[in-house]
Structures are given as C-alpha cells and as structure tokens.
Amino acid sequence: MDDGMKRELAQFLCAAKIQEPRTKSQHNREQWRQSLLRRLDPLWDIREKIDKYVAENGARCLICGSSSIEGNAVEIDCGQALQNISCLDCHSSWTDVYVLSNADEIDVPSDVASG
C-alpha cells in the first residue's frame, strides 16, 4: 500500500467515523493502525485485480491469470447483463457485469415514421 492509498484510507476512516482507540500510548495506536491496514490489504488487492481484468476485457482469470476460463449463460435484466465465469485452472468464480451502452441498427416502420 503506497502513501496515496494510506492517505485515502485515513480519509475513509474519518468519513466512516472509525475512531482510533483512546490510548495515550503512541505504540498502541500504531499497532492498531498496522493491524487495520493488514486487514484491508486483501481488499485493495482484489480491487486492483478487478480493474486489470476489466481493462483486458475479461480475457483471463482475474485471480490466477489463466486464459482457461468459461462463462455460463448470460442473464439480461433492466439494462444490465450478468454472466457467471469460472476458471478451469484455479477454480475461482465470479460474475461479469455488463451495462447497456447503446442502441444500434434502428428500424422504424414507415407508417410510424411519417405519423
């Protein structure tokens, strides 16, 4: 976790009103901070993995990087499409989320167009 992320974390804790323990000991406060950062690290990691996966158009497993991934049927609902994906190598699974972005090849019957 770099300094920018630590600053973001500090702002998040402040916004979420998560308070550091009331203790006069600088050492205890530092320990508390370190344990919190350790607990949050996996969350930062998975966010980075998801961003990379999306940037590569979901071509490879977001956990192990294998290209042996397969998707189940796509379910479409309310401008959103969901597809369960699983990795044949590490057996991780997740759901791809697609969002409606455009309408194309529009064909309007002439009686509707002139009326």
Q: Which residues bind Zn ion (CB under 5 A)?
A: 61, 63-64, 66, 87, 89-90, 92
CB of 58 to Zn ion, least distance (A): 12
Q: Supply the angle between the helices 26-55 and 3-15 in degrees, to the nearest 10.
A: 110
Choice between 53 and 61, CB closer to Zn ion: 61
Positive or negative, the Cα torsion across 80, 94, 59, 43? Answer: positive
Positive or negative, the Cα torsion across 104, 56, 93, 72? Answer: positive
Choice between 36 and 65, CB closer to Zn ion: 65
- Cα distance between residue 21 and residue 108, in whole Å: 65
Choice between 33 and 58, CB closer to Zn ion: 58
CB of 99 to Zn ion, least distance (A): 24
| SS3 call for 100 | coil
CB of 40 to Zn ion, least distance (A): 23
